[in-house]
Amino acid sequence: MLRRAPGRVPVLGAIVGDVVGSVHEWAGTKTKEFPLFTPASTFTDETILSIAVAEHLLDHTDCIDGFHRWFERYPGAGFGGSFVHWAFRRQREPYHSFGNGAAMRVAPIAHAFDTLDDVILHARANAAITHDHEEGIAGAEAVAACVFLARRGQSKDEIRRYVSGRFRYPLDQSLDDIRARHEFDSSCAGSVPQSIVAFLESASFEDAVRNAISVGGDADTMAAIAGAIAEPFYGGVPADIRTQTLARLDDRLRGVVERFCTAYPPGLKKG
């Protein structure tokens, strides 16, 4: 059975996580008790690259050119050093990264295709544009699979079993155990499974985002991943959080979000 809810915005879960997590980047936050939004809360590279992927899916444009173009529009948005070097020089070859940069941007792919095989195939191809290391690719595939399975109405146990079995991610650890020893780590191995656990232990969309930030690591990326999975699982982003997040996007970013939601409404749709 598919999860559907009025007012759902398929790509917004990751964007919420990015915006809420933006003020916790490098802060080492180890609590779930914090204001969800502050005057400094803003979108960063997670949002911009997710939007770039969404635009690519909508317009069937070259994704490499799209990444270069979106970087030029927002060069100071917190992109990682390797990506900055790659985009600034308009390079077209990947840089063999095992970081979480491909995993953080992959959510739109999970909303644009009808089968898990297609989602995995396109997640792999998109990751390989930059993150062609096997761990960088696996992280993107795992996140895309989680989002897709959540769309399909799969239970948390079913999502856990699939990801643990296919990607060998350790999802049996508790969030308390992760929080106690976790430090900033932008690798896929050091952030993707932890973000999935943040979702698995959540009680609501907001709780998933708070869980991911409370780990004290790569806050905006981890919250973007947890939020991307939680959005379809919990039937959307709560209205007040949706409103505050969209208000922090400019017209260009909001326009792509709106177009994507129209082209790929909640539920299963062929890409």
The domain spanning residue 257 has which CATH number? 1.10.4080.10
Does 7 map to a domain? no
Does 270 map to a domain? no
Mean pLDDT for all residues in the chain: 94
Among residues 7, 264, 3, the alpha carbon closest in space to that of 152 is found at 3
Q: What is the pLDDT of residues 2-17, one digit of tens each?
A: 333 445 788 999 999 9
Does 210 map to a domain? yes
Query: In this predicted structure, what is the pLDDT of residue 87?
Result: 98
> pTM value?
0.95
Domain span including residue 259: 24-32+41-263
Q: Which single residue is written with the structure tokens 């806050």?
A: 219
Q: What is the pLDDT of residues 54-76, one digit of tens each?
A: 999 999 999 999 999 999 999 99
In the chain, the number of structural domains is 1
What amino acid occupies position 81? G
Backbone angles phi, psi at 187, to 5 degrees: -75, 160
Contact in structure between 222 and 183 (CB atoms under 8 Å): no
Does 124 map to a domain? yes
Q: How far apart are CA 184 and CA 12, in angstroms?
A: 24
State the average pLDDT over residues 184-192: 97
Q: What is the pLDDT of residues 120-165, one digit of tens each?
A: 999 999 999 999 999 999 999 999 999 999 999 999 999 999 999 9
What amino acid occupies position 143? V
Contact in structure between 33 and 55 (CB atoms under 8 Å): no
